[in-house]
């Protein structure tokens, strides 16, 4: 392979990494990466038998708070939910909650959204089964 071809491949790799930003900038939603880089209930990709234990559920609480639940076992560092993460409508990071599998027996977190309202993307990350996304309106 010549140098020009390698450079072309390198550029393609970079653009692949940047794709979520480009997608969000258009406001067209997460579909292109769903089932690939991250998973959704509709696009579970290679983890189609793992939806129930990995798809994060979102419950609205009073006072602008939410509860995020992933019904996944917390089996020490062997297999657990690493964290929950919140992104705004444009996929900008808002906050996250890291779990300690030696202390946290369930993957449940609560967040105070303050004055934020609108589309909220919620990510749940498993150490074996990757990242799962749910989108809620808050």
Contact residues for Fe ion (CB under 5 A)? 126, 128-129
Cβ at position 128, least distance to Fe ion in Å: 5
Q: 74 vs 113, which CB is nearer to Fe ion?
A: 74
Cβ at position 43, least distance to Fe ion in Å: 17
Cβ at position 120, least distance to Fe ion in Å: 23
Q: 55 vs 111, which CB is nearer to Fe ion?
A: 55
Residue by residue, what is the 3-state secondary structure of the chain? CCHHHHHHHHHHHHHHHHHHHHHHHHCCCCHHHECCCEECCCCCHHHCCCHHHHCCEEEECHHHEEEEEECCCCEHHHECEEEEEEECCCCCEEEEEECCCCCCCCEEEEEECCCCCCEEEEEEEECCCEEEEEEEEC
Q: 13 vs 52, which CB is nearer to Fe ion?
A: 52
Q: 76 vs 114, which CB is nearer to Fe ion?
A: 76
Cβ at position 70, least distance to Fe ion in Å: 9
CB of 82 closer than 8 Å to CB of 73: no
């Amino acid at each position: 392979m010549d140098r020009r071809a390698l450079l072309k491949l390198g550029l393609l790799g970079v653009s692949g990494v940047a794709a979520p930003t480009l997608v969000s900038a258009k406001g067209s939603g997460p579909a292109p990466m769903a089932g690939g880089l991250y998973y959704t209930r509709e696009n579970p990709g290679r983890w189609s038998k793992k939806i129930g234990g990995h798809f994060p559920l979102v419950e609205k609480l009073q006072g602008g708070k939410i509860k995020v639940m992933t019904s996944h076992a917390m089996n020490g560092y062997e297999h657990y939910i690493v964290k929950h993460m919140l992104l705004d409508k444009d996929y900008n990071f808002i906050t996250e909650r890291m779990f300690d599998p030696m202390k946290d027996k369930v993957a449940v977190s609560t967040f105070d959204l303050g004055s934020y309202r609108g589309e909220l993307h919620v990510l749940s990350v498993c150490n074996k089964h990757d990242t799962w996304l749910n989108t809620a309106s808050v």
